[in-house]
Amino acid sequence: MQPPMLAQPPQAVLFDAYGTLFDVHSVAALAEQLFAGQGQALSLAWREKQIEYTRLVSMSQTAGREHDAPFYKPFWDITRDALRHACARLQLPLSHAHETQLMNQYRALSAYPENRAVLTQLQQHGVRAGILSNGDPDMLATALRSAGLDALLNPVLSAHSVRRFKTDPAVYDLGPQALGLPAQAILFVSSNAWDALGASWYGYRTLWLNRSGQAFETLGGAPHHVANSLNEVLALFNIHA
């Protein structure tokens, strides 16, 4: 069941990056050029393993380890490891040159077409809009510059600073700390259902950006809002494009 709408508009907004602002499956076109007939399958397997690896790394932080330092890898390294696993799983020969091409493509993923107009409207109406992402700072900076969105988003918060990944509360903590607002006053927007759910559990006001008509998670809990386009964020701030 979806929670009731909140009467007061939020005071700020944080966007997930990968899958929400940037199309993680825009790498499929290059993958198809390199591995004919397998581009979409590789993109899907790559993303699935990337998220799985972030969860494994986060889980290691809370495991009982009295003597060894907790295991951690930055998101960039996890993304490369996930690509290698996906290719091995699909029995695709991944040369060093092809790996470099695919990873460079991941640095500059395609942004969704409505992003600029929505973020510009938010900025013009004085709404603070930032990013809260698993991505490394360098990855996020490159992606934002490539898409021409770097002047429209501040703060840009990276899970790297706490050496954990979503849905660990330590990552979600970064938003209230940076914005000086309680979580319930911040709208958190993600196209990843698991991320929208984790943020809802944490206490954010959430919007699940369900672009492709997927089913939401069934663990319990729901986002406050559901939309199929980023444009619908504006209405929550009483902005009419």
Closest residue by Cα to residue 226 from 211, 212, 208, 200: 208
Question: What's the CA angle centered on 178, arms 174 and 179, to 5 degrees?
Answer: 120
Looking at residue 190, its amino acid is S
- Taking alpha carbons only, the member of 77, 110, 109, 83 closest to residue 96 is 83
| DSSP notation for 77-110 | HHHHHHHHHHHHHTT----HHHHHHHHHHHHTPP
User: How many CB atoms within 10 Å of residue 111?
Assistant: 20
Distance CA 204, CA 196 (A): 9
Residue 195 a catalytic site member = no
16, 23, 136, 195: which one is catalytic? 16
114 near 230, Cβ under 8 Å?
A: yes
Q: How far apart are CA 178 and CA 155, in angstroms?
A: 7
Catalytic residue numbers read: 16
